[in-house]
Amino acid sequence: MTGILVLTLAGISWIRPMIIGSAIDKDITGGDHIGLLNAFLIVVGLLILEAALTFFQTYYANWVAQSVTLDLRSKLYQHVLKFKLNYFDKTPVGNFVTRLVSDIDGIANVFSNGILNVIGDILKLIVIIAVMCFYSWKLTLIILIPIPVLLVATRIFQKAIKKAFNEVRNQVSKINVFVQEHVTGMSIVQAFHQEHRESEKFKIFNKEHMKANINSIWAFSIFLPIVELLSAASIALLLWYGTSGVIEETISLGDILAIILYVFMLYRPIRQLADRFNVLQMGIINSERVFNLFDLEETISDDGVIENFQFKGNITFKNIWFAYNDENWILKDLSFEVKEGETIAFVGATGAGKSSIINLLNRFYEFQKGEILIDGIPLRDFSIEEVRRNIAVVLQDVFLFSDSVENNISLHNPSITLDNIVMAAKAVGAHDFISALPGNYQYDVKERGGMLSVGQRQLISFIRAYVYQPKILVLDEATSSVDTESEELIQHATDALTQGRTSIVIAHRLSTIQKADKIIVLDKGRILEQGSHQELLDKEGAYKKLYELQFVSED
């Protein structure tokens, strides 16, 4: 539809000057008032028709652009959702926000105000030059003398504006990263009285952004006067050569006026082409950035075919070697087994590899050597969705969305009702504090759960795990950041959650894991010792040293 409208507009744009020239030569010279009125009405009708066609072309072009934006943004978001956590660890959030919002909007502008309009302008140029040649090919050639200069200027402008716009997009991305990071960390900025320093740093980013935009404006401000100058040169050549033709009666005055109008129509698309090139250059840069993200192979391979499997919860790690980067091994030849319904705990210094174990079990990362089995079946034989549906994780750093308590627990899963949530909250021991909130389960916790305490956020994460009724539960240092009172509530929640299911617990506080069936002490990716709490104390090894050090410290 949009293409038809573009062709129609290009096809009728040449008619008005021809009618005006004919009216001058025939109706005005001959004194034909009726003919002049008819010419006037035809010109007005054509103007109304062009206005209507332009309206529909603009509407449909923008409709196409928004449809492309809808599909592209959805697919990009779905693509990134499958990325390994390693990508998010090393990529600033602001970069991705820029790709998903600003860059895709730039691509949409190519469809709404770019490609089709460029095609339409080029068609208009071809039609106008053809009609001018019909009047006088010699005069047309003289008028077109400045065009080669214009083409060279356009090419130089195109290169300059591409470089300038690339820098603009980079500066926009840097500002987004800075603002996102520092607004999120505003409590640190204010706590250490760094407002002035952060303001100065932002001024530097803002100034660089301004410089990048000024460079693009500078190129644009040079190009437009050149177009106007060359347009005036064409008119001057036309008047110089055309008036001689009128005197010699080789061309009429009406034809000269028509050709003057065509010259204005000729340079108008050329001036607009500068804007189109602006949009296209921005679109090219934006598309490169977006499709580079599409081309990233950061996803976990999901070749597993087993689905709807009745998990029991037997877990086996066999000779697992894992590194985040190259061969800087985090886990080294690690082997252990967890039987159905058992609770196993991991302790050790920071960097010992505790969190890496649960990252591998959930397939957030891929191990390089060895094998992980669930109920005797290789982990990679299961689909990722099947694995994660049966494993619930309660992290130390709880993330809550800016939404109600209910939605933060159910994550908008329609199969989880409010009754399920209330029942889970009572089982975990969190119903009383939620009921005391304004609006109770409909209370908006705000961004990252900022309206709740650390302990309250942790309890909500326990309820979230409970309502999904996982076969395997992972608790990653769930009590390390809470006070003693909250720890008692969370310990109760832990007992409720681990009851009857396979559980893996990572803890710094040894008091929370004394009931575990097996405790494994890790050191630099290897198992140092393992056994029950009492067995490890009796060995008088690394665990006992940790235990004594921690309890003496607490006393």
Among the listed residues 7, 190, 205, 188, the one whose alpha carbon sits nearest the alpha carbon of residue 94: 205
Among the listed residues 68, 56, 98, the one whose alpha carbon sits nearest the alpha carbon of residue 209: 98
Look at residue 526 and give its three-state secondary structure.
Answer: strand
DSSP class of residue 515 equals T
φ/ψ (deg, to 5) at 193: 55, 50
Residue with tokens 């300059």: 160
What gap in Å lies between CA 364 and CA 82, rounded to an integer? Answer: 10
Amino acid at site 390: N
Residue 124 contacts by C-beta under 8 Å, 6 or more apart in sequence? 9, 10, 13, 265, 269
DSSP string, 344-374: EEEEESTTSSHHHHHHHHTTSS--SEEEEEE
pLDDT in the model for residue 275? 66
* Residue ranges per structural domain of the chain: 2-295, 315-554
Per-residue pLDDT of the chain (555 residues; tens, 9 = 90+): 666 776 676 667 777 777 777 777 676 767 777 777 887 788 888 888 888 888 887 788 788 888 888 888 888 888 887 777 777 777 777 777 777 877 888 787 777 766 677 777 778 888 888 888 887 777 778 888 887 887 787 777 777 777 777 787 778 778 877 777 777 677 667 666 677 777 888 888 888 888 888 877 777 777 778 877 887 888 787 777 777 766 766 677 777 777 788 787 777 777 666 667 767 777 777 788 888 888 877 677 778 888 888 888 899 999 999 988 777 888 999 999 999 888 899 988 877 888 888 888 888 888 889 999 999 899 999 988 888 888 888 887 778 888 888 888 888 888 888 888 888 888 878 888 888 888 888 888 887 777 788 778 888 888 888 888 888 888 887 655 555 556 677 677 777 777 778 888 887 777 778 888 899 998 888 988 999 888 888 888 888 888 887 765 444
Look at residue 414 and give its three-state secondary structure.
Answer: coil
209 burial level (CB within 10 Å; 0-12, 13-18, 19+): middle
Burial 35-73 (b: 16+ CB within 10 A, else e): ebeebeeebeeeeeebeebeeebeebbbebbeebbeebb
Amino acid at site 376: G
Amino acid at site 495: D
Rounded-to-10 torsion of CA 406, 411, 412, 414: -90
C-alpha 342: how far from chain center:
41
Residue 116 contacts residue 123 (beta carbons within 8 Å): no
What is the arrangement of strands in the sheet containing 502-506, beginning at the earlier edge strand?
391-394, 472-476, 502-506, 343-348, 518-523, 526-531
The β-bridge relationship of strands 343-348 and 518-523 is parallel
Q: Report pTM.
A: 0.65
> Which CATH number is 2-295 given?
1.20.1560.10
Helix (H), strand (E) at residue 343: strand 343-348
What gap in Å lies between CA 120 and CA 498, rounded to an integer? Answer: 68
The β-bridge relationship of strands 329-338 and 377-378 is unpaired
What gap in Å lies between CA 536 and CA 539, rounded to an integer? Answer: 5
pLDDT in the model for residue 457? 85
What gap in Å lies between CA 16 and CA 21, rounded to an integer? Answer: 9
Among the listed residues 334, 361, 331, 320, the one whose alpha carbon sits nearest the alpha carbon of residue 530: 334
What gap in Å lies between CA 69 and CA 75, rounded to an integer? Answer: 10
Q: Which fold has domain 315-554?
A: Rossmann fold (3.40.50)
Residue 65 contacts residue 109 (beta carbons within 8 Å): yes
Can you point out the beta strands (E) in 199-265?
Answer: none
DSSP string, 14-53: THHHHHHHHIIIIIIHHT-HHHHHHHHHHHHHHHHHHHHH
